[in-house]
């Protein structure tokens, strides 16, 4: 939902060098010759063309999707998206319980897909390799979840060492393109989105995201924050619920639904929103301006510093993911007039 800055050239180079050789080896060892030739074709010079494998590791989202789709259609003759989704739904059934159609799909897809998943194995190559995942989340992760901006997702390490024992906690890495539906993207750097466990495991699960229907945080066109606005509704004296207004963009609607942002944010009405409203009610505009002038003058603080001290969040939209609930607080402060055109 919130924008992520693209990986640095250094991270991309490191990831490609770290992952490429072992991936090539697994392709040659575990896939049949025909599929190997598709993934690692031979150049006119007789040398191996490794560009496809490298692109599957570090290609940007749009180009990655096009490449993956092209490769799947070459690997599996008469590959069909709808058929493949039907296969995924029915593959867990016992053979005796499959319909004739499901049996045909199982025979068409299962063995090849199993082999591909074993090669592009996220669990073995990344999830269980802390040195790799922690490097990714340290550089690409933020303090809060990319999808909800509610939960802290800080990568935590013990400074005393550089081994697995020193790596304490990290955000989960969601496969924006489902690794079930798009197995060739399972190890793609741009397909690994740092997020909280609630958004990834409890809410998104196996939901299928597409570039045409959902927001990808690494696309250049993705804004720093959603276009909709958080607001509040008084329910009882001293009680409030958070609501969402101006939710008109279809991609934003889909993201809000998947991650249950209406339901999740509702409970912050009696927490952070109530605190902001009470602060506004109990302090006049003159007092706030006096406080602001004093802090700016005597402590040489910026307005952004004062804003962060008072409300525990960031003023700049580009820093949304540094603190939880940044957009919620900014929208409420704007609604009650403490922020005007994003300025404090």
44 phi, psi to nearest 5 deg: -55, -25
In the chain, which residues have pLDDT < 70?
160-161, 342, 344
Residues 154 and 26 reside in one and the same domain: yes
Q: Check residue 340 and report its DSSP letter.
A: B
Q: Which pLDDT belongs to residue 283?
A: 79
Spatial CA neighbour of 117 closest among 128, 125, 108: 125
In a domain? residue 1: no
Spatial CA neighbour of 242 closest among 227, 254, 260: 260
End residue of a domain, out of 115, 130, 165: 165
In a domain? residue 200: no
Distances (CA, A) of 218 to 25, 140, 257: 29, 11, 20
| Type and span of the H or E element at 263 | helix 261-266
Using DSSP's 3-state secondary structure scheme, residue 328 falls into helix
Q: Which pLDDT belongs to residue 160?
A: 67
In a domain? residue 82: yes
Contact (CB, 8 A) for 16 and 58: yes
Spatial CA neighbour of 179 closest among 257, 112, 88, 77: 88
Residues 134 and 234 reside in one and the same domain: no
Residues 38 and 158 reside in one and the same domain: yes
- Distance between CA 305 and CA 296 in Å, rounded? 9
In a domain? residue 31: yes
Contact (CB, 8 A) for 135 and 109: no
End residue of a domain, out of 146, 165, 184: 165
Residues 121 and 19 reside in one and the same domain: yes
Residues 245 and 326 reside in one and the same domain: yes
- Distance between CA 202 and CA 264 in Å, rounded? 12
How many domains does the chain fold into?
Answer: 2
Residues 125 and 242 reside in one and the same domain: no
- Residue written as token pair 């039907």: 86
Return the structure tokens found at 122.
Answer: 């996220």
Contact (CB, 8 A) for 224 and 315: no
In a domain? residue 342: no
- Distance between CA 39 and CA 13 in Å, rounded? 20
Residues 62 and 161 reside in one and the same domain: yes
- Residue written as token pair 């190890």: 187
C-alpha Rg value of the chain to the nearest Å: 24
In a domain? residue 175: no
In a domain? residue 197: no
Residues 6+ apart with CB under 8 A from 188: 56, 57, 58, 59, 64, 177
How many Å is the maximal CA-CA distance in the chain?
Answer: 79
| Whole-structure pTM value | 0.92
Return the structure tokens found at 281.
Answer: 């009610």
Residues 157 and 233 reside in one and the same domain: no
Q: Which pLDDT belongs to residue 290?
A: 81
End residue of a domain, out of 165, 199, 218: 165
Residues 147 and 238 reside in one and the same domain: no
Strands 192-195 and 172-175: antiparallel
In a domain? residue 21: yes
Residues 15 and 120 reside in one and the same domain: yes
- Which range of residues forms the domain containing residue 236? 229-335
Residues 41 and 135 reside in one and the same domain: yes
């Amino acid at each position: 939902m919130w924008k992520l800055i693209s990986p640095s050239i250094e991270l991309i180079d490191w990831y490609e060098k770290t992952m490429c050789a072992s991936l090539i080896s697994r392709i040659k060892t575990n896939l049949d010759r025909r599929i190997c030739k598709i993934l690692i074709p031979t150049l006119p010079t007789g040398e191996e063309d490794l560009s496809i494998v490298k692109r599957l590791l570090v290609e940007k989202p749009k180009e990655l999707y096009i490449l993956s789709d092209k490769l799947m259609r070459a690997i599996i003759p008469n590959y069909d998206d709808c058929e493949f989704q039907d296969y995924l739904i029915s593959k867990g059934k016992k053979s005796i319980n499959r319909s004739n159609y499901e049996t045909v799909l199982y025979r068409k897809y299962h063995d090849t897909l199993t082999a591909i998943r074993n090669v592009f194995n996220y669990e073995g190559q990344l999830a269980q390799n802390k040195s790799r995942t922690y490097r990714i989340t340290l550089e690409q992760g933020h303090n809060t979840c990319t999808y909800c901006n509610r939960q802290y997702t800080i990568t935590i390490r013990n400074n005393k060492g550089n081994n697995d024992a020193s790596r304490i906690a990290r955000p989960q890495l969601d496969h924006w393109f489902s690794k079930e539906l798009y197995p060739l993207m399972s190890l793609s750097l741009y397909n690994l989105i740092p997020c909280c466990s609630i958004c990834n495991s409890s809410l998104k699960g196996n939901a299928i995201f597409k570039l045409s229907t959902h927001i990808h945080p690494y696309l250049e066109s993705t804004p720093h924050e959603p276009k909709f606005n958080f607001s509040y509704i008084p329910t009882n004296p001293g009680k409030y619920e958070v609501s969402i207004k101006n939710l008109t963009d279809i991609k934003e609607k889909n993201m809000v639904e998947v991650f249950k942002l209406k339901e999740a944010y509702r409970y912050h009405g009696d927490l952070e929103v109530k605190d902001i409203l009470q602060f506004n009610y109990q302090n006049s505009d003159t007092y706030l301006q006096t406080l602001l002038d004093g802090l700016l003058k005597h402590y040489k603080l910026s307005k952004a510093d004062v804003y962060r001290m008072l409300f525990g969040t960031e003023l700049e939209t580009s820093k949304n993911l540094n603190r939880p609930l940044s957009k919620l607080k900014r929208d409420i402060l704007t609604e009650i007039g403490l922020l005007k055109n994003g300025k404090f």
